Structure formats: C-alpha cells, structure tokens
C-alpha cells in the first residue's frame, strides 16, 4: 500500500499546492508509469501530444490517451511540462520535428530505443542520441530549453 501513497502524495502536492502551467508548442511532457518509470513526448498544440508508443509507432494522441497508457492500467494522474520558473518552455522547431515524425516507426526497446530518446531527438534533431532515461532527457531540456522546473499541466483549461 505504501507504494501508492508516495506517488499520490507527490501528485497532490504538485496539483494542489504548487503552480500548474499550460504547455506551449514544443514543450516536453511526461507522466509516470506505475511510479517506477516515466513516459515522455512533445506537446504540438491544439491539445495534442506526439509520442513513441510501446509498439514503435510515432503517433499523435490526446493528453488523456497519453496518460492512460498500458490499456488504461497506468495510475498516473498528472502530466508534467518543461518550464523555466513558472513559464512553460518549448519551441515551434521542436513541435515541427515531432509532427514530421508522425506515422514513422522505430525499433522500440524499453531501454535502448524508447520514448525519451525520441523526445530528445525532437529537441536536438538527433534521433540517434543516448537519452534513454528521463533524467537524461531532463538534462537535454535544461541545456537546450533552459528548463529548470517540471510543473503539472493545468488540463482543466485545455480544450
């Protein structure tokens, strides 16, 4: 039971106590997967996210589809957005790179070729990077977008 309390408490603090944010085009977004891993993608505007799914297909999804990964079994409640202070970070170039990849596929591997590597590729233009873990993707977002905070997406204002 304690494995559920930690993520729930963090989500409560992030959603109720801390400021939330609305992403901009090209924002990096991520959600937790069972409290032990994460899933990432790129916000492209119009309430849409481009991500690499578990079968290796790059697709456009809604925030609800993004967070309900694993046939809806994922207990995550929040999507986190790349920010500098209280403002979302992202660029049109990143969003365009993500859109250009839609419909393509990769040889997905949970560690060696995953969503974080794809998301980092959208930031840098190098899709053969080594950013296979969220902490690596966060470092790239920090270096390229001056991201220094990750805030919860204020989805109640999204259409």
For residue 12, pLDDT over 90 is answered with no
- pTM confidence score: 0.87
User: Residue ranges per domain, the chain?
Assistant: 23-153
Query: Is the distance from CB of 83 to CB of 89 less than 8 angstroms?
Result: yes
**Residue 81 DSSP one-character state:** E
Q: What percent of the chain has pLDDT over 90?
A: 65
Query: Is the distance from CB of 153 to CB of 90 less than 8 angstroms?
Result: no
Mean pLDDT of 9-38: 78
Joined together, the tokens standing for residue 133 give 């873990």
Long-range (24+ apart) CB contacts under 8 A made by 14-19 are 14/78, 14/80, 14/151, 14/152, 15/77, 15/78, 15/152, 18/151, 18/152, 19/86, 19/151
Mean pLDDT of 35-43: 88
For residue 94, pLDDT over 50 is answered with yes
The span from the CA of 106 to the CA of 117, in Å, is 11
CATH assignment of 23-153? 3.90.1720.10
Would you state the pLDDT for residue 93? 99
Mean pLDDT of 60-70: 86
Would you state the pLDDT for residue 97? 99
């Amino acid at each position: 039971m304690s494995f559920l309390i930690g993520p729930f408490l963090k989500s409560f603090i992030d959603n109720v106590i801390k400021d939330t944010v609305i992403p901009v085009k090209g924002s990096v977004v991520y959600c937790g997967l069972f409290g032990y891993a994460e899933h990432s993608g790129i916000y492209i505007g119009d309430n849409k996210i481009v991500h690499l799914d578990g079968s290796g297909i790059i697709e456009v999804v809604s925030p609800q589809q993004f967070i309900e990964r694993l046939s809806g079994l994922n207990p995550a409640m929040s999507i986190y957005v790349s920010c500098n202070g209280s403002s979302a970070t992202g660029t049109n170039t990143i969003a365009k790179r993500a859109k250009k990849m839609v419909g393509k596929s990769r040889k997905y591997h949970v560690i060696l070729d995953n969503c974080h590597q794809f998301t980092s590729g959208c930031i840098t233009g190098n899709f053969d990077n080594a950013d296979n873990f969220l902490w690596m993707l966060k470092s790239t977002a920090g270096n390229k977008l001056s991201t220094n905070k990750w805030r919860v997406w204020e989805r109640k204002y999204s259409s």
